[in-house]
Every structure is written in C-alpha cells, then in structure tokens.
Structure 1
Amino acid sequence: MSFPRRHLRILPSRFVIDHHSERSSPLDDSWFAAVRGPEGLTVIRTIEDGQSDSAAEHWLGLYGDDPHDLDLPGMLAAVVAPLGAAAIPVFVASTFHSDLVLVPENRLAEALGVLDAAGHTVDASS
C-alpha cells in the first residue's frame, strides 16, 4: 500500500503522558489532550522549559499541517508505519483536523531521519 506524503511541524512544547485510573478529568490546565477510556484517564500535558519532571519520559510532538477529512485512509499510518518499522515508540492523539504523534525526546533526530526517508517533510521552525 502506498501512503500519502505528510507535512508535519514540530510543536514547541515538551510533553509527558500520565495515566490516572481513578480520574475522569485533568487536575489543572497543563493538559494538552485528554482521553477517558474504560481503564481511566490518559492525559498528555505540557512541560515548560526549566520545569522538572524527572520521573516521566519527555516526548516531542509532530502535528500534521495538512488537515484532511476524517474518512481519508492512511494519513496516520503514513507517519506511524515508518516510525514503527524503525522501532521508534510513538503515542498518538487525533484531532478533528489532524494527528498529534509524540516521539521520545531523545529519539527526535532519528525520527526526523526516518520520516524524511519516507518522503515526509517536517518543519522544525514552529
């Protein structure tokens, strides 16, 4: 299957991913995305520069600058398939317009190389 080429941008924030088995909503306004599932609440929250959260892995976000209809197949797979083939972990949250793909901060350079080799463009100037 041939996947579409995507145009992505790197979001300026760093993120952590939390799970709260007993919560139904985020504690404060630091959340960027929240999803409530049967097993509890998953929260993607921002970490500001200089803020320490040493217990959590830090992630960087790639967001599609190419909004698409919800029924257009392959848009997310186009990004996560090459990253998965390169054994780069991802965490994904989708919006109405596009997808947020988080990669570990310490693997960003590798992820960008993989995405470039797959034919995607990534704007790092955001």
Structure 2
Amino acid sequence: MSAAGQRAQRLRLVPGRFAVEHLPAAVAPPSGWIAQVRAPEGLTVVREVVEHESADAELWRALYGGDTAHGLNLPGMLAALLEPLAAAAVPVFVASTFHADLVLVPESDTERAVAALRAAGHAVD
C-alpha cells in the first residue's frame, strides 16, 4: 500500500493566491507573508498576492491539512500528499508547520492537483 493509502488526510484549499519569492539575505520579508525560510543563499517568502499585482507574479494556490494535524514523529504524511501530485506531474512548493504541511501548487494546476489528491483517498474541501 502506498503512503497515500496509509495516511489519508483532510485538506482545505486556502482562500487567496500566493507568490513564492526569493529575496537577498539582507532583505526583510514583505508584508502579508504566510511562510518564510532563511537559508545561506537568502530568504524564501510565501505571501498572499493582492489583485493589482497578479499580472507579473507566478500564482500558486495552497492546500493545508491543519484539520488533520499530526505529530512530528509520524512518518509518511507529506509523502502521502506528494506522491499523487508527482504522479499527476503537478509541481509543488511545500512549507511545513508544526501541525501540518502547506502544499502550494501552480494556480493553473489546482483542479488537477485536487483530483489527484482525491483519487489517492484524501478529502479536499
């Protein structure tokens, strides 16, 4: 049985559209961020995109499994989401939280991503 079959999760599509950006190391994150990770090469920020700026930004939609929060010691939870998305050739960007994972997919692939997750046994609201 795949990790997806063993770790069915309830996900929700987070309202809004998001940008994933890389900023130089010395730059502070912009307002409106929902996730940020600082690494030696700079700061990666996930932030909500406001309507007037969406023309130039690559837009992402976010799926979050906070309704089925799990412990950090439970293996396979992220793999259960990523396996069906990889099989459906859906690109992802992931930001993990203490309770669950925020899985971003390109806005243009949202319907395909939701269908792949449902086919793997996950519930998506």
Q: CA deviation at 1:13?
A: 1.5
SS at match of 2:53: coil
Cα distance per residue 1:68-103 (max 9 Å; x no partner): 000100001100111011110000000011000000
Q: CA deviation at 1:21?
A: 2.4
CA contact (8 A) 2:84 2:116 kept: yes
Aligned to 1:105: 107
In 2, the alpha carbon distance for the partners of 1:100 and 1:37 equals 19
CA contact (8 A) 1:24 1:36 kept: no
The reply on whether 1:115 has 2:120 as its aligned counterpart is no
CA contact (8 A) 2:19 2:46 kept: yes
5 Å-filtered alignment, 1:4-83, equals 4-23=7-26, 25-26=28-29, 28-48=30-50, 50-64=51-65, 65-83=67-85
Q: 1:51 is matched by which residue type in structure 2?
A: H
Q: Tell me the TM-score normalised to structure 2 length.
A: 0.90
Q: 2:59 is matched by which residue type in structure 1?
A: H
Identity percentage of aligned residues: 54
Q: 1:105 is matched by which residue type in structure 2?
A: E
More helix by share: 2
SS at match of 1:81: helix
Q: 1:119 is matched by which residue type in structure 2?
A: G
In 1, the alpha carbon distance for the partners of 2:89 and 2:2 equals 20
SS at match of 1:51: helix
